[in-house]
Amino acid sequence: MRTIFWDDGVVMVDQTLLPERFEILVCKTVHQLAEAIKRLAVRGAPALEAAGAYGIALAAYERDFNDLVEIKKHIQDAARLLASTRPTAVNLFVGIERALKAAMSGDSIEEVRKLALQEAERIAEEDVERNKKLGEYGAELIEDGSTIMTYCNAGRLATVDWGTALGVVRSAVSQGKRVKVIACETRPLNQGSRLTCWELIQDGIDVTLITDSMAGIVMQKSMVDCVIVGADRIVRDAVFNKIGTYTVAVLAKHHGIPFYVAAPRATFDWNRSMKEVTIEERSRDELIYCGNRLLAPENVRVYNPAFDPTPLDLVSAIITEYGIIREPYSENVPKILEL
Amino acid sequence: MRTIFWDDGVVMVDQTLLPERFEILVCKTVHQLAEAIKRLAVRGAPALEAAGAYGIALAAYERDFNDLVEIKKHIQDAARLLASTRPTAVNLFVGIERALKAAMSGDSIEEVRKLALQEAERIAEEDVERNKKLGEYGAELIEDGSTIMTYCNAGRLATVDWGTALGVVRSAVSQGKRVKVIACETRPLNQGSRLTCWELIQDGIDVTLITDSMAGIVMQKSMVDCVIVGADRIVRDAVFNKIGTYTVAVLAKHHGIPFYVAAPRATFDWNRSMKEVTIEERSRDELIYCGNRLLAPENVRVYNPAFDPTPLDLVSAIITEYGIIREPYSENVPKILEL
């Protein structure tokens, strides 16, 4: 089953409930979808690309309109609302923009609706295809018998299907390679323990869970052959990904372990640099509470950025659906991705 | 109030309940104390030194004995039980050994009891004194206006009083220096968020909580002037401390930030090397459950070492009650500590 799809509304696996419950969430309005994105019921840069595009389709279908001007205005408002939900993953904006542009070219209410949904479906389809291509390229980097460390969830649940970092793992496994995964739990929201472990176990892929703080010792003990992570945005001097990615990259550098980033072309925002990207700061409650447990004094000051930038000099290669990109990135990224 | 003391039994703050509840636990038998140590109601190497010694006193007082042979045998059995509770912190064994030796020199049941308790009280007293000395030395390294990162809890709660790493912070504050602390939450048991934040807030010291995975970004953003951690055991080539310490040490090295270890002489086990130390592995449940929350699939494989070794070449200085020790450690540690 796909992580996100259209069925008379935007349908998704509610990722906030895994691994406790597998529940399907149906968003019938753009407001419902915006809420779902904000509370991370759907997350992961490529999945957000599809979510943004489906959101535009939802705007077109969620109510009746009197004329073309009204539906187009409504869709433009929806685009702004959806774009305001999360600031870091560039794919969200790509998905919104593509579907918006398609919708705007329509000459009737029905055509606007059709074009928006068609483009959203195309984006979802393309995501699955590009991840499989990316996975095939990436699998060339994986030797039989390797142990791969990953961080956060750049898997099926972060995409429409197959995954980016975990897409590489899946492609290597499909090629018959024996591969083990070490998953960092990824505090504070535990996407690693909740989502990566869950989806790898579903697929019968060997996975061992560690805390983020154990990334050092497993590298010191030579238990890791390479690291593969996803990305929320790649600018010309850094990779923005889930908070903690930078820490793992520094550790990999220190231990001489290859550090790979797996991400589709749409994740690149090559005209921007590290300093120009807003890093989302999330609620302090994420560090203070865990279910019915109080993990810290309720009045403590908290710093809770959702992402961090990893300078490109810590990245051994970027795996894309156009091929594997190595240094010098300033030259090879525009060349290979035709940017 | 002291973290652990004698009052007709071994009395302690139950650290598993903080910050939700402040409760006092009274152990009336060696078995109760051994359980308390195992489930981390009392933890921290220097506090375990006192706990081990008080445990010997408890063995002497917990029941009636017919003769000297019987009480001495009972105390020796208790020493073995207490020593088996946790394998890594060398101070536990130091405390047990010292009180045991004192008790064994007694010539009557009453004298054995008195000598055991006297030695335990002396150890507790010495811990407070040595931490204050260590704190004074360490404070010399702290400039006014500094931000200090710490990991786990090497504070009042990890000692009888004052603390080691946080003892340095307290001494700097007493000298009138303005100091801020960044506390890493320290997964999986959150001693950083639960205990370090709690005790610093109690003392009115400025503290900001981050996840362990954010240690990288705060260093990248130049928010940290130095790191100070405690130690469970210092061997001739490494410092054993709470799992995750090594990761922070590598990060500090990468960013050119001083990485200090604060620990009393009793933490040194200078005749051993890294390879000879057993690292305690704890229950997989610590990563899978958090209160009523399921953080990972229940059938996932988990790796959960409780400590990691940080090679001494990542340590900028070791702060002890005998003074600050710098490289070459092989020469300076035995010289300064008179080992």
What residue type is assigned to position A250 of the chain? V
pLDDT band of residue B332 (cuts 50, 70, 90) is: very high
| Contacts across the A-B interface (CB distance below 8 Å) | 198
Q: What is the largest CA-CA distance in chain A?
A: 67
What was the pLDDT predicted at B122? 98
Q: How many CB atoms are closer than 10 A to CB B20?
A: 15
Pairing of strands B307-311, B238-242: antiparallel
A206 is a catalytic site residue: no
3-class secondary-structure state, position B92: helix
Contact by Cβ (8 Å): A162, A131: yes
CA A123/CA B151 separation, integer angstroms: 44
B212:A209 CB<8 A: no
C-alpha to C-alpha distance for A251 and A257, rounded to whole angstroms: 8
What residues in A contact B218, CB-CB < 8 Å? 303
Chain B residues close to A213, C-beta within 8 Å: 184, 186-187, 212, 243-244, 247
Catalytic residue among A127, A232, A237, A308: A232
Angle at A162 between CA A158 and CA A166, to 5 degrees: 70
Taking the C-alpha atoms of residue B104 and residue B112, their distance in angstroms, rounded to an integer, is: 7
For A151, left (φ over 0), alpha (ψ -120 to 50), or beta? beta
Q: Pairing relation of β-strands A289-290 and A259-262?
A: unpaired
Name the residue facing B250 among A190, A193, A216 (closest C-beta): A216
Residue in B closest to A199 by C-alpha: B297
Query: Do A65 and A111 form a contact (C-beta atoms < 8 A)?
Result: no
User: CA-to-CA distance for A325 and A335, rounded, in angstroms?
Assistant: 10
Q: What is the reported pLDDT for B35?
A: 97
Q: Which domains can be identified in chain A, with CATH numbers?
A: 4-131 (1.20.120.420), 137-337 (3.40.50.10470)
Q: What is the largest CA-CA distance in chain B?
A: 67
Do the Cβ atoms of B218 and B151 come closer than 8 Å?
A: no
The pTM assigned to this predicted structure is 0.95
What is the per-residue pLDDT for B87?
A: 83
Strand partners, B323: B320
Torsion of CA A242, A244, A249, A255, to 10 degrees: -150
Query: Chain B contact for A205, CB < 8 A?
Result: no
Are B287 and A209 spatial neighbours (Cβ–Cβ below 8 Å)? Answer: yes
Do residues B86 and B42 make contact, with C-beta atoms less than 8 angstroms apart? no
The token pair at B116 is 């055991």
Helices B68-83 and B30-38, packing angle to 10 deg: 10
- What is the C-alpha to C-alpha distance for residues A188 and A168, in angstroms, rounded to an integer? 25
Rounded alpha-carbon distances, angstroms, from residue B37 to A150, B49, B198: 34, 11, 20
Give pLDDT tens digits for B144-168. 999 999 999 999 999 999 999 999 9
Average pLDDT over residues B10-37: 97
Q: What does the pLDDT profile of chain A (339 residues) look like in tens digits?
A: 899 999 999 999 999 999 999 999 999 999 999 999 999 999 999 999 999 999 999 999 999 999 999 999 999 999 999 999 998 878 999 999 999 999 999 999 999 999 999 999 999 999 999 999 999 999 999 999 999 999 999 999 999 999 999 999 999 999 999 999 999 999 999 999 999 999 999 999 999 999 999 999 999 999 999 999 999 999 999 999 999 999 999 999 999 999 999 999 999 999 999 999 989 999 999 999 999 999 999 999 999 999 999 999 999 999 999 999 999 999 999 999 998
Please say whether the beta carbons of B112 and B65 come within 8 A.
no
Type and span of the H or E element at B256 = none
* From B207, B213, B250, residue closest to A244, measured CB to CB: B213
Beta partners for residue B228, in sequence order: B260
End-to-end CA distance of chain A: 33
What does the pLDDT read at residue A300?
A: 98
Partner A contacted by B201 (CB < 8 A): yes
Q: How confident is the model at residue B102 (pLDDT cuts 50, 70, 90)?
A: very high
